[in-house]
């Protein structure tokens, strides 16, 4: 079934066509009909499956069926600022040919423009809990006419300690409303929260045994911790046209890896929690627009963020939490596209690799690097501050050359 066959507003179909959305993904196919009927939905699906459009398309259609002045009728709650920006953008894109007004509401930026937008009237609000409650308590925001509540990345919101905020929010909303609950995982805490705020929900679960998307080819290579920059340099030069997202463990590592790549003529964007919100949003937008083909980041970008056309994900460092691996590699292979991911695993990271394989229930394939290829990768680096590597390798190789001549 194609989107042109759905019984949705023609203006939505026009936007979907312009966005290149022809056929629904699995989660969209299963969720859209129930949401259009006004049913509560509890949806569990992997990252990169098209969850945002799965609820944005039917919500926009439902709001268009009952025309009202710009009154807040749909509230989407998300755990992070970056996700608020992303989901608000998806709503704007799909509602681009309609009269609906969308606002992304989050902290870390000046609140006066946001309060002004609320005064002028909006239809759809995508918000993080902190800034939402600030504006509610200041009297800038009233929630008594909300018809649809969406909790997105609900498992992550619980991990970040937003349970009290969610409970406070529910008490401020109309009892008669549609509630949509989207999460990447399901556990007892998620179930308890979900069944407390939804009414006889339609449960949709797309969770195969391997939580890594089937569109992602992922593997690992054994590389010494101090040698990783040389292998990243090689990968980037071999894939000169690829859009690459590199994950590191800490902010300091992100800055150091970026500096190492710049020394060999490969500029990059850097994003981590140490940068202010405006800078992070600008970096993310620059990477989306293709201003740079390389983004080096911490796990601030591991979850929920949809960056189009990422060809390759590199786990320069393995994450401390196995579930973060799934979210990291899920930044590629989005929707119906295929993607690749490689992890650089040092000897001290072997326990982390074991934990990831236990979590995914699969054995990750290894890309073996033979001794000669490993040696050449280090010898051929253009990282001039490390010329001593070349000299040491040449000196180590010199005796063997002399022996070959004598023989």
Query: Comparing 3-206 with 216-390, is the CATH topology the same?
Result: yes
Residue 47 is predicted with a pLDDT of 66
Residue 402: is its pLDDT beyond 50?
no
How is the chain split into domains, by residue range?
3-206, 216-390
Q: Tell me what the mean pLDDT of segment 377-390 comes to.
A: 70
CB within 8 Å of 198: residues ≥ 6 apart? 40, 41, 42, 179, 181
Dihedral sign from CA coordinates of 83, 87, 90, 92 = negative
Residue 400: is its pLDDT beyond 60?
no
Residue 43: is its pLDDT beyond 70?
yes
Query: Distance (Å, rounded) from C-alpha 166 to C-alpha 151?
Result: 9
The pLDDT-based confidence of 206 (bands split at 50, 70, 90) is: confident
State how far Cα 11 lies from the chain centre. Answer: 28
Residue 46: is its pLDDT beyond 80?
no
Q: What is the pLDDT of residues 161-186, one digit of tens each?
A: 788 888 888 888 998 999 998 887 77
Sheet of 74-77, strand order: 102-105, 124-127, 74-77, 148-151, 178-183, 41-45, 202-206
Residue 404 is predicted with a pLDDT of 43
| Nearest one of 219, 265, 222, 268 to 383, comparing CA atoms | 265
The bridge status of strand 269-271 relative to strand 294-297 is parallel
Residue 301 is predicted with a pLDDT of 60
Q: What is the pLDDT of residues 292-346, one digit of tens each?
A: 899 999 886 656 566 778 999 999 999 998 888 888 888 888 766 788 999 999 9
Q: Tell me what the mean pLDDT of segment 144-163 comes to.
A: 85
Residue 35 is predicted with a pLDDT of 96
Residue 36: is its pLDDT beyond 50?
yes
Residue 161 is predicted with a pLDDT of 77
Fold of 3-206: Rossmann fold (3.40.50)
Choose between 278 and 284: higher pLDDT.
Answer: 284
The DSSP symbol for 319 reads -
Give all strands (DSSP E) within 223-271, no chain letters: 244-247, 269-271
- Listed range (42-56, 154-168, 369-383, 386-400) with the worst mean pLDDT: 386-400
Residue 403: is its pLDDT beyond 50?
no
Choose between 271 and 148: higher pLDDT.
Answer: 148
Query: Distance (Å, rounded) from C-alpha 118 to C-alpha 102?
Result: 10
- Listed range (120-129, 186-195, 217-226) with the worst mean pLDDT: 186-195
- Listed range (20-24, 33-37, 191-195) with the worst mean pLDDT: 191-195
> Mean pLDDT over all residues of the chain?
86
Name beta bridge partners: 218: 341
Q: What is the pLDDT of residues 346-368, one digit of tens each?
A: 999 999 999 999 988 889 999 99
The pLDDT-based confidence of 82 (bands split at 50, 70, 90) is: confident
3-state DSSP call for residue 254?
A: helix
Q: Which CATH superfamily is domain 216-390 in?
A: P-loop containing nucleotide triphosphate hydrolases (3.40.50.300)
The pLDDT-based confidence of 189 (bands split at 50, 70, 90) is: confident
Residue 401 is predicted with a pLDDT of 46
Residue 220: is its pLDDT beyond 80?
yes
Give me Rg for the CA atoms of the chain: 24
Residue 290 is predicted with a pLDDT of 84
Residue 210 is predicted with a pLDDT of 61
Sheet of 339-345, strand order: 269-271, 294-297, 244-247, 312-315, 339-345, 216-222, 365-366
Choose between 191 and 350: higher pLDDT.
Answer: 350
Residue 230 is predicted with a pLDDT of 96
Residue 198 is predicted with a pLDDT of 82
Using a pLDDT cut of 90, give the percent of the chain over it. Answer: 54
- Listed range (139-153, 167-181, 314-328, 392-406) with the worst mean pLDDT: 392-406
Residue 253 is predicted with a pLDDT of 93
Q: What is the pLDDT of residues 245-283, one digit of tens each?
A: 999 999 899 999 999 999 999 999 998 877 777 788 788
3-state DSSP call for residue 170?
A: helix
């Amino acid at each position: 079934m194609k989107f042109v066959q759905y019984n949705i507003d023609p203006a939505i179909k026009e936007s979907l066509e312009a966005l290149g959305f022809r056929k629904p993904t699995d989660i969209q196919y299963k969720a859209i009909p129930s949401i259009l009927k006004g049913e509560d939905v509890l949806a569990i699906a992997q990252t990169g499956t098209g969850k945002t459009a799965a609820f944005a398309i039917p919500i926009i259609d439902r709001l268009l069926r009952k025309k009202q002045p710009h009154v807040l009728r749909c509230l989407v709650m998300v755990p992070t600022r970056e996700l608020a920006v992303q989901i608000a953008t998806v709503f704007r894109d799909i509602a681009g040919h309609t009269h609906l007004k969308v606002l992304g509401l989050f902290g870390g930026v000046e609140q006066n423009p946001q309060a002004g937008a609320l005064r002028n009237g909006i239809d759809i609000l995508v918000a993080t809990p902190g800034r939402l409650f600030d504006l509610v308590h200041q009297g800038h925001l009233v929630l008594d006419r909300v018809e649809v509540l969406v909790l997105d990345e609900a498992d992550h919101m619980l991990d970040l300690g937003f349970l009290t905020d969610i409970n406070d929010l529910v008490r401020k909303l109309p009892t008669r409303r549609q509630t949509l609950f989207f999460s990447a995982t399901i556990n007892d805490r998620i179930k308890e929260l979900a069944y407390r705020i939804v009414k006889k929900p339609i449960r949709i679960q797309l969770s195969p045994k391997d939580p890594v998307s089937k569109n992602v080819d992922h593997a690992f290579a054994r590389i010494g911790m101090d040698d990783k920059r040389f292998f990243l340099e090689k990968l980037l030069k071999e894939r000169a046209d690829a859009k690459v997202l590199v994950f590191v463990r800490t902010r300091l590592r992100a800055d150091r890896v970026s500096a190492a790549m710049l020394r060999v003529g490969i500029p990059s964007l850097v994003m981590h929690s140490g940068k202010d919100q405006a800078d992070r949003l600008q970096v993310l937008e620059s990477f989306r627009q293709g201003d740079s083909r390389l983004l080096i980041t911490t796990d601030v970008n591991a979850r929920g963020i949809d960056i189009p056309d990422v060809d390759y994900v590199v786990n320069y460092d393995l994450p401390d939490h196995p579930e973060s691996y799934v979210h990291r590699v899920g930044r590629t292979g989005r929707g119906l596209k295929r993607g690749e991911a490689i992890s650089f695993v040092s000897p001290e990271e072997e326990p982390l690799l074991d934990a990831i394989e236990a979590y995914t229930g699969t054995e990750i394939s290894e890309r073996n690097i033979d001794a000669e290829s490993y040696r050449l990768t280090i010898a051929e680096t253009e990282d001039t501050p490390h010329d001593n590597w070349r000299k040491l390798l040449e000196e180590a190789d010199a005796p063997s050359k002399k022996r070959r001549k004598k023989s």
